Amino acid sequence: MAAFHPDLALGRFLPPISVGPRLSELARRLKTRPVAPPPGVTVQELVVPGPPDAPPVSLRVFRPAGATDAVPALLWIHGGGLVLGSPEQDDQKNIDLVRDLGIVVAAVRYRLAPADPAPAAVEDVYAGLRGLVARAGELGVDPGRIAVGGASAGGGLAAAVSLLAHDRGEVRPVFQLLVYPMLDDRTVTRPDLDTLTVRIWTARSNRFGWTSYLGREPGGPGVSPYSAPARREDLTGLPPAWIGVGTLDLFHDEDVAYARRLEAAGVPCELEIVPGAFHGFDALFSKAEVSLRFGLDQTHALRKALFA
C-alpha cells in the first residue's frame, strides 16, 4: 500500500464514502454558509447573461477595496464532481487570493448534473467568463489579464472552458490554474487502478459524477472534449497552465498525462505532484504544512502569470 504523506497520516482512517444519488441530493439541500469578507475586501453577487436559451449566470465577486487601477482577475470554478457544490464553499480561499494578490476573484455559479447534464456546466462557466469581460470596466478588472481556475470538477471545467474560449475566439483567458482537475471520463473504465489509498473522491463517486454529467455511461466513443478535456487531441494554442495533484489522488494519472500533453503541444505547464496526498487533502487538512505549501504554490503561479 502506498504511503500517506506524514502531514496527512490521519487520512488513512477516513472511510471510503462514495457520492451517489442520495448523498448528492442531501448535499445540494444543505446550504454552505458564506464567509463574511474582512476589511479591505468587498463581495457582491453579479448576474450576467447565461448561454442561449438558458437562465442567467451568477458570479460571486470578491474585490480589493480601494483599488484605483484595473487589476487582474481569476474566474474561479468550484468542485463537487459536477453534481454538487457552490461558490460559497471556496469563499475563504477566494478572499485570501484577493488579499494576497490584490486581484478580483469571480466565483461562478453553474448548473449541476444530473438535472442539467453536459454541456450546461461548461456553457454556464463560459457565459460567466464572457460576463466578467463585459463588466470589466465597472469591476475594475483588466480584461487582458483574466485567468480561469478551479479544483476537482472545477479544474476540469476550467480546462474545458479554456478549450471553448480558444475555439470560439471571443474571449481568451491568459492562464489555467488546475487543482487536481477532473479531466477524463475514461478513468472510470480502468481496471488497473489501485484504489486502496483513494480518499474523498472514490472510483464509485467518479462513475456517478461522469454518468450524471454525460447522461450516459462514461468511457465510450463520441464524448466531447468540452465535457472531458482529456479527449482533446490537439492542445496547441491553449493558455499556460499549472496543474497540482497528489500521488494518491484518483485523478493523478489523467492529470499528469494532460500536463505532459500540454508541454508536448508547446503550452507551458508547471506540474506539481505531492507525494502521499489524496484528493481534496488541502481542504480537509487545511492547516497542515503540506497543504499550506500547496496553496502558496498556487498563489505564486497566479502572481507570475498575472503580473509578469
How do residues 145-192 score in pLDDT, each as one tens digit? 999 999 999 999 999 999 999 999 999 999 999 999 999 999 999 988
Q: Which residue among the candidates 184, 249, 255, 282 is catalytic per the annotation? A: 249
Which pLDDT belongs to residue 56?
98
pLDDT at residue 25, rounded to an integer? 78
pLDDT for position 32: 86
- Residues of the chain short of pLDDT 50, as ranges, are 1
List, in order of start, the domains of the chain with CATH numbers. 6-307 (3.40.50.1820)
Classify residue 122 by its DSSP letter: H
Determine the Cα–Cα distance for residues 73 and 147; give it in Å rounded to an integer: 6
Strands of the chain, DSSP E: 41-48, 57-64, 71-77, 104-109, 141-151, 175-179, 241-246, 269-274
**What's the pLDDT score for residue 300?**
98
Whole-number pLDDT of residue 130: 98
Exactly one of 152, 162, 212, 291 is catalytic; which is it?
A: 152
pTM: 0.96
**Is 58 an annotated catalytic residue?**
no
Indicate if 152 belongs to the active site: yes
pLDDT digits (tens, 9 = 90+) for 68-100: 899 999 999 999 999 999 999 999 999 999 999
Q: What is the DSSP string of the chain?
A: -PPPPGGGGGGGGS------HHHHHHHHHSPPPPPPPPTTEEEEEEEE--STTS--EEEEEEEETT--S-EEEEEEE--STTTS--GGGGHHHHHHHHHHH--EEEEEE---TTTS-TTHHHHHHHHHHHHHHHTHHHHTEEEEEEEEEEETHHHHHHHHHHHHHHHH-S---SEEEEES----GGGGG-S----TT--SS-HHHHHHHHHHHHSS-TTSTT--TTTSGGG-S--TTPPPEEEEEETTSTTHHHHHHHHHHHHHTT--EEEEEETT--TTHHHHTTTSHHHHHHHHHHHHHHHHHHH-
The answer to whether residue 286 is catalytic is no
pLDDT at 248: 95
Active-site annotation holder among 255, 279, 282, 291: 279
Q: Which residues contact 67 (CB under 8 A, 6 or more apart)?
A: 102, 140
